[in-house]
Each structure stands twice: as structure tokens, then as C-alpha cells.
Chains A and B, each alone.
Chain A
Amino acid sequence: MIRNRVAIVGMGQTPAYRRTEASLGTLVLRAARDAIRDAGLKGTDIDGLAARVRAQALNIAFPADGLDRASTMYVADGLGLGTLSWCAGLNEGANQVAAFVEGVHALVAGACNYVLLYNQVARPKDIAYGATTELASRGPEQFMRPYGWLLAMQRPAAWLNRMFHEKVLTEEDLGYVVMNDRKWAARNPAALLRDPMTMDQYLASKPLVPPLKLADCDMPVDAAYAWVITTVERARNLPHKPIYISAAQVGLSPHSGDHDSGGIFGFPDLTRTVHDYTMRTLWENAGMSRDDMDIAMLYEGFSPMALFWLQALGYAGKGEAGAVMRDIYTGKRGPAVNTHGGVLSTGRNHGAAAVSEAVLQLRGAAGDRQVAGANAAVVTMGGIMQDSGAMVLTSKQA
């Protein structure tokens, strides 16, 4: 029940202009600034952000952040906010956790009883993924596309080149992520790439945007995924063993940039990612530690992202993620990672298959690839800058 538990304490608005030189993004920032000041607060007090974000000019195929809309990323960055521990309407990208977070909050608030969550992924038809014939580059992209900054994989590649320079990661470190995915995919009938891979085979994979190779990138697929969540009282009367959600959070870090450019322009340290900030509270929120996890589903739309997650979750210190991944691959240490084969083997489902795999493992129903006695799993989603989300799941209610 929300009855009288929340209050409105600040407001801001701009004049309604028929014509103005200011961009839509600037108007949003001014209104937001004035609302925070009206509340007697500072930017650093704000740790949650929500918006109904919609491109104003609906005939624009690629709305520009700050011009046609102002994403929550644009507003957080434009106000210079700190780490946000909750964010809604973050963007439209790769984060299945965001829907879970909203559903969990609604159930806890008593807004509904059974929530249906769904995911859809689509493979572009008759055009290469990320291809475009549009030359006019508007908004933040006017400082990007004219310089050939056109593909999603250029971003992690630039991050990696900096990390390699600072000796935080090596090419072989990425190989262990791919080899580990393939190791598990061999036991997953639903995986698409099921052949094991050696380090030599990995290093010989076709270079796309070096150091990223074909083997480092997930492949587009058509697929749909759905889940039902409810309160624990109701869960007890249903057929399956309940899988409890100990923590579910999405967040945003300082300097993460706008939706279209990400942090490439202003993120201070490219040996880190947004998750290093947003996930500091995960284990405290879950009431469990990383060492309690039997399984870690680490999102890796590009292979290095799994290594970034090992660092953000505290499994590896700076410069250690590759060695930790190697030991996980060889079975020398836990947790088991990406036991379905990851998105690299199962297709570009934006991490949806990872949620279902974690549930299957915690139900004890994962067949040939069942991790013996698996009681707890962490499931992460999100790449480098946008979409930082994670859940901690357990089959045992504390």
C-alpha cells in the first residue's frame, strides 16, 4: 500500500515556447534543475530517476538524444548526478533486468498480484545489423558518425585498446570467456554454437574491430522469452519450487554520457565501466556475498563484458579478471559462469536466456549441465556504459 507514504516536494518547468533556440534536452535539464532546487536539495541527493521518454518527432527514424528526446542517461549526465541506485526508462537496449525491477517494485508496493514479463529480440531482415544509408547525423551523433563511429563494437574495442594499454586485460583473457561459453554450450541443446573452441582457434578467429573478433560477438536471432513473478505467499501454492529474487537493480554511474554516445567523451577511466559504480550495493541489498553464488550469468554480448562484470561484482581486482576467468574455465574455481553457453552461443537475446538458465539451474532441472547443489545465482546485464542491471536469485529463502 502506498497510502500517504510518498510526497511531492519539488517542481520545475520551463515556459511553453512556440519557437525556441534551446534544444529539448536543455529545456528538460532546466526544468529538472529547478525542481531539485525547489525541493531544497542538491544534485548529489538524487539517487533515482524515472521518465516517460518518447521521441517527439515521430517521423524521425533515429531520434537524437537531446534533440528529439531526452533520455534518462542524458538527464543524469547533463545534471552531473552521482551514482543512481534506481532508474526507469533508462533506454531501449539490452537489459532484461529493468522489467524485473519494475515488476518486483510493483508487487512489493501491492500494485498487482501476478506480473507477466516478456522479452523480444529481432534479427534485422534484408539489411546487415547496424547498417544504414542515412548520411545526415544529428544530435550527439554529429560528433561521431562523420568520423566513422558507426558500429556498436567500436565502443568496446576502443575501451579494450585502452585497457590493453594499461595492462588490465589481454587478448587471451577474452579467449577464456568464449572458450568457457562453448564448453557449456556443448551440453545445451538450445545453443546454436556448440563446438568447443581452443585458444589457437579463438586467436585465429576473423578480426572485425580488433581486438574484437567474430568469436567475441553475439549473433542476431529472432526469439521471445517470458516469465511470471508473484509474491512469495502466492508462489508457495504454485507447481514449481519458487526461485526467490534476493536483489534486482538497475542503475547509472556518473559521467556515463547520453544514450547515443555513452561515456566515450567523458567517462574518466576507461579501465572501469558503469557497473563498477552501480553494483557496489548489490551484495548488501541481496543479503548474500559473491562467495555464496554457485552460478554467475555474466552478460557478454561482446566477450570482454563478462570480464568487466567479474571486476564489477568483486570476483576480480583491477587486472585480475583474465586470470579469474581462466580458472573458472578450467574448473579450478567457482562460480560456474554462463552455464547455457552465454549469448555468444545462444544468440543475441540481450541476456533473457541467462535469466531462464539461472531459474532452470536453481530448480535443479538443467539436465546434463546441472551444477550440483546450485542454490544461488547472480545474473547480470548490460554492456559498458548503458543498461547496468543485475539480479541475485536463490532457491532458499533466507
Chain B
Amino acid sequence: MTTDKPTRPYPVADAETEFHWEAARLRELHIARCAGCSQFIHPPRGMCPRCWSDDIRPERVSGRGTVYTYAWNEMGGRAPGWDGGYLTVVVELDEQPHLRMLTQLVNCDPRRVAIGMRVRVTFEEIGGGIILPQFEPNPEP
């Protein structure tokens, strides 16, 4: 495990999000879920917006989803590590309608992106022992 700090924007976990990044280190995708009404919540929250329960628990999800939309940033990110054109993708997870994550498309030419493309989770280390869930094309139906 490298101890170098990432040279690009990196997540700083807090008490309500630590589970997500801990799971990513084990190459699993975990999403917050309400134990009261089963609603998935992302980004994680400490209280369920649907049933107002305080009982929010992490749950492993399938990691399968669909590209909902995307933005190709031609001008670069105006932050270190984001020079030149790059792609950010909005993925809708299979587990629940409108349950979305931001991600990047890896292991393929990002110019191939298309709304409706099937994707699956993969993991990328960005330095400092930080591992991001990312998504790649899913050849399975």
C-alpha cells in the first residue's frame, strides 16, 4: 500500500461515510440503506428521508448499473490532476430507481460512453491507500 497522498481530489471520510470507503478498500461496493423501510440512500445520510428512521446501515450491493447521463469536460477541471478532457458519468444502480452515483468510466475509451450503457463496479487506487469505486462496461446482459 502506497502512503503517498493522492495528487488529485480525494475523499475525506466522515462518521457517516466511512463504511463506503472501508468497503472500497476491500473491493466491495456498500451503500447506506434504511433498516426501517429498505430505502437506499446515496450520498449517505444519518436519517431516512422517507420514513424518518435513525437506523441506517451499510449494505453490499451488486455493483451493476446503467449510465443515466454524463458530462465530458473538454476544458479540464481547474484543479490538480484534471488537465485536458475527461469524462464524469452518472450511473443508476440496479437496486433502486433514481439511486445514482457519480463515477468515471474505466477500462474503455471514455468517448464510447452512451446513455443506457450497462456497467459494473471496479476499483481504482488513487494513492494514499484510497480506493475509489469506478465503473467499467459490463458485457453481461
Contacts and interface: CB of A to CB of B under 8 A. Distances in A.
Interface in A151-177: 151, 154-155, 157-159, 161-162, 165
A100 to B, nearest CB: 30
A291 interface: no
Interface in B46-92: 46-47, 49-50, 52, 54, 68-75, 77-82, 86-90
A43 B7 CA distance: 43
Contact of A161 (B5, B74, B115): B115
B45 interface: yes
Nearest to B72: A210
B101 interface: yes
A2 interface: no
Query: Which among B49, B54, B87 has the greatest number of chain A C-beta atoms within 10 A?
Result: B49
A162 B91 CA distance: 12
Interface in A181-217: 207-210
A266 B52 contact: no
Query: Which among A130, A131, A165, A267 has the greatest number of chain B C-beta atoms within 10 A?
Result: A165
A146 B9 contact: yes
Nearest to A143: B43
Contacts of B9: 134-137, 145-146, 148, 150
A140 interface: yes
Contacts of A137: 9-12
Contacts of B50: 80
Contact of A23 (B15, B77, B78): B15
Interface residues of B, number: 53
A138 B14 contact: yes
A26 B45 contact: yes
A29 B13 contact: no
B90 A208 contact: no
Contacts of A265: 42-43, 100-102
Contacts of A140: 43
A57 B122 CA distance: 36
A33 interface: yes
Interface string B1-24: 000011111111111110000000
A158 B70 contact: yes
Contacts, number: 162
Given A143-B101, A162-B68, A265-B42, A154 B88 contact: yes
A255 B100 CA distance: 13
Query: Which among A78, A143, A208, A270 has the greatest number of chain B C-beta atoms within 10 A?
Result: A143
A83 interface: no
Given A143-B101, A148-B86, A161 B45 contact: no
Nearest to B130: A146
Given A29-B45, A209-B71, A158 B90 contact: yes
Contacts of A134: 9, 79
Query: Which among B70, B102, B104 has the greatest number of chain A C-beta atoms within 10 A?
Result: B102
A136 B12 contact: yes
Contacts of A66: 45
Contacts of A270: 68-69
Nearest to B46: A26
A366 interface: no
A268 B72 CA distance: 22
Contact of A209 (B75, B97, B132): B75
Given A30-B47, A135-B6, A146 B88 contact: no
A210 B68 CA distance: 16
Contacts of A268: 97-98
B35 interface: no
B2 to A, nearest CB: 16
B100 A266 contact: yes
A132 B79 contact: yes
Interface string A49-87: 000000000000000001100000000011110000000
B78 to A, nearest CB: 4
B126 A146 contact: yes
A342 to B, nearest CB: 22
Interface of A: 21-23, 25-26, 29-30, 33, 43, 66-67, 77-80, 128, 130-140, 142-151, 154-155, 157-159, 161-162, 165, 207-210, 255, 258, 261, 264-268, 270
Interface of B: 5-17, 42-43, 45-47, 49-50, 52, 54, 68-75, 77-82, 86-90, 97-104, 115-116, 126, 132
Given A78-B47, A165-B69, 8 more contacts: A21-B15, A150-B78, A150-B82, A151-B77, A158-B88, A209-B72, A265-B42, A266-B98
By Cβ-Cβ distance, the 6 closest A-B pairs, closest first, are A26-B46, A142-B11, A80-B49, A131-B78, A145-B9, A162-B69
14 contacts: A22-B16, A67-B14, A132-B79, A134-B9, A135-B5, A135-B10, A149-B88, A150-B78, A150-B79, A150-B82, A158-B71, A161-B69, A161-B71, A209-B75
